[in-house]
């Protein structure tokens, strides 16, 4: 699932805990789901950023050759302006885009 299609807040907002609780039946379980999905999103974003920045990596480690790369700075700024992984995960949960399965309750 692409996280680019999810519209999430870029700053902190107050959430209604009752809406979060309704998704799983337990507020703490909802927070665990958000946390785990947030870690997945964060890892994907980090991998994507690393791949893009590898294009600008130099093969030599000479301090005299290190210079400011505008494209690299713009890519980094773009990722800093993106919505945070927790906001994306919370929005996905609220929009029922996360499949939640609890093996203990299925028994």
Interatomic CA distance for residues 49 and 72, integer angstroms:
10
> 44 in a domain, yes or no?
yes
Asked if pLDDT for residue 79 goes beyond 80, the answer is yes
Per-residue pLDDT at 69? 74
Asked if pLDDT for residue 107 goes beyond 70, the answer is no
50 and 76 in contact (C-beta within 8 Å)?
A: no
Per-residue pLDDT at 93? 95
Length of the chain: 107
> 80 in a domain, yes or no?
yes
> 90 in a domain, yes or no?
yes
Per-residue pLDDT at 95? 93
> 35 in a domain, yes or no?
yes
Per-residue pLDDT at 67? 58
User: What's the domain range around 81?
Assistant: 17-56+66-94
Interatomic CA distance for residues 2 and 66, integer angstroms:
35
> 86 in a domain, yes or no?
yes
> 105 in a domain, yes or no?
no
> 5 in a domain, yes or no?
no
pLDDT in tens, 12-71: 889 999 999 999 999 999 999 999 999 999 999 999 999 988 887 766 655 554 556 778
> 12 in a domain, yes or no?
no
Could you give the number of structural domains in the chain? 1
């Amino acid at each position: 699932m692409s996280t680019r299609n999810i519209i999430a807040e870029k700053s902190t907002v107050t959430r209604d805990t009752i809406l979060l609780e309704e998704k799983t039946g337990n507020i703490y379980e909802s927070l665990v789901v958000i946390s785990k999905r947030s870690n997945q999103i964060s890892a994907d974003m980090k991998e994507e950023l690393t791949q893009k920045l590898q294009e600008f990596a130099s093969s030599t480690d000479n301090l005299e050759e290190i210079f400011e790369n505008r494209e690299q700075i713009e890519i980094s700024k773009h990722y800093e302006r993106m919505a945070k992984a927790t906001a994306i995960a919370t929005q996905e949960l609220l929009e029922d885009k996360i499949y939640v399965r609890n093996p203990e309750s299925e028994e």
